[in-house]
Amino acid sequence: MKYYLIIVLALIIFPFSYFSPPALAQEQAKEILVLIDELPVTFDVQPVILNGRTLVPFRAIAEVLNIGVNWDGTTQTVDATDRETFIKLQVGKEIAFRNGAIIPLDVPPVIINGRTLIPLRFFSEAFNCNVSWNPSTYSVEITSGPKEMTVIGFYALGGDSKTSSWTNLFGRAYPETDIGHTDVVDELALGWYSVDEEGNLLTRSWTGWQRPPGWENVLKAAWEYNLKTEMVIHETDRYGTLSLLLTSKTASVRLIEAIMEEAVLYEGVNLNFEELGLAKIGEDLTAVRKVFTDFVRLLSPRLRAANKSLTLTIHPPNSAYKGYDYKALGELADRIIIMAYDYGSKPEPVSLVIQAVETAKTVVPPQKLILGISAPYETAESIVTKVGIAKRYNMHGIALWRLGLVPHEMWHVLRTNIL
| pLDDT tens sequence across 298-320 | 999 999 999 999 999 999 999 99
Please tell me the distance from the alpha carbon of residue 50 to that of residue 104, in angstroms, as a whole number.
16
pLDDT at 205: 85
pLDDT at 344: 94
Q: 24-38, 142-156, 220-234, 347-361: which range is least confident on average?
A: 24-38
pLDDT at 16: 38
Is the pLDDT assigned to residue 2 strictly greater than 60?
no
Instruction: Give ranges for CATH 3.30.457.10 in the chain.
Output: 17-143
Burial pattern 149-164, b for ≥16 Cβ within 10 A else e, equals: bbbbbbbbbeeeeebb
Confidence of residue 351 (pLDDT cuts 50, 70, 90): very high
CB-CB contact of 119 with 105 (8 Å): yes
Q: Which helix (H) or strand (E) holds 49?
A: strand 48-50
Q: Which helix (H) or strand (E) holds 400?
A: strand 397-401
Confidence of residue 234 (pLDDT cuts 50, 70, 90): very high
Instruction: Give ranges for CATH 3.20.20.80 in the chain.
Output: 150-417
CATH number 3.40.50.880 given to 150-417: no
φ and ψ at residue 313, rounded to 5 degrees = -105, 105
Q: Which helix (H) or strand (E) holds 167?
A: helix 165-170
3-class SS of residue 357: helix
pLDDT at 208: 80
Please tell me the distance from the alpha carbon of residue 188 to that of residue 230, in angstroms, as a whole number.
6
More confident residue, 107 or 159: 107
Please tell me the distance from the alpha carbon of residue 222 to that of residue 225, in angstroms, as a whole number.
5
Mean pLDDT of the residues in the chain:
92
Identity (one letter) of the amino acid at 271? L
Please tell me the distance from the alpha carbon of residue 311 to that of residue 230, in angstroms, as a whole number.
8
Residues 63-116: tens digit of each pLDDT: 999 999 999 999 999 999 998 999 999 999 999 999 999 999 999 999 999 999
Average pLDDT on 350-371 reads: 98
Confidence of residue 19 (pLDDT cuts 50, 70, 90): very low
3-class SS of residue 147: strand
Please tell me the distance from the alpha carbon of residue 64 to that of residue 37, in angstroms, as a whole number.
10
Please tell me the distance from the alpha carbon of residue 258 to that of residue 281, in angstroms, as a whole number.
32
Smallest CA-to-CA distance from 185 within 168, 162, 160, 164 is with 168
Please tell me the distance from the alpha carbon of residue 93 to that of residue 106, in angstroms, as a whole number.
10
pLDDT at 28: 56
Average pLDDT on 369-398 reads: 97
φ and ψ at residue 75, rounded to 5 degrees = -100, -5
Phi-psi region of 255 (alpha: psi -120 to 50; beta: other; left: phi over 0): alpha
The dihedral sign for the CA sequence 108, 112, 116, 119: negative
Burial of 213: CB neighbours in 10 Å, binned 0-12, 13-18, 19+: exposed
Q: How many residues does the chain have?
A: 419
Longest Cα–Cα distance in the chain: 97
Average pLDDT on 173-186 reads: 96
Confidence of residue 37 (pLDDT cuts 50, 70, 90): very high
Confidence of residue 1 (pLDDT cuts 50, 70, 90): very low
pLDDT at 6: 39
Give the C-alpha distances (Å, rounded to integers) separating 111 from 27, 65, 87, 88.
16, 21, 18, 16
Is the pLDDT assigned to residue 145 strictly greater than 50?
yes
Give the C-alpha distances (Å, rounded to integers) separating 263 from 91, 258, 304, 357.
58, 9, 12, 29
Identity (one letter) of the amino acid at 260? M
Strand 33-36, strand 95-98: pairing: unpaired
The CA-CA-CA angle for residues 13, 19, 24, to 5°, reads 170
Is the pLDDT assigned to residue 7 strictly greater than 50?
no
Is the pLDDT assigned to residue 24 strictly greater than 70?
no
3-class SS of residue 298: helix
Count of CB atoms situated within 10 Å of the CB of 284: 12
pTM of the model: 0.90
Is the pLDDT assigned to residue 400 strictly greater than 60?
yes
Which CATH number is 17-143 given? Answer: 3.30.457.10
CB-CB contact of 371 with 340 (8 Å): yes
Average pLDDT on 11-37 reads: 58
Please tell me the distance from the alpha carbon of residue 373 to that of residue 275, in angstroms, as a whole number.
18
Give the C-alpha distances (Å, rounded to integers) separating 412 from 321, 375, 383.
33, 13, 11
pLDDT at 13: 36
CB-CB contact of 63 with 36 (8 Å): no
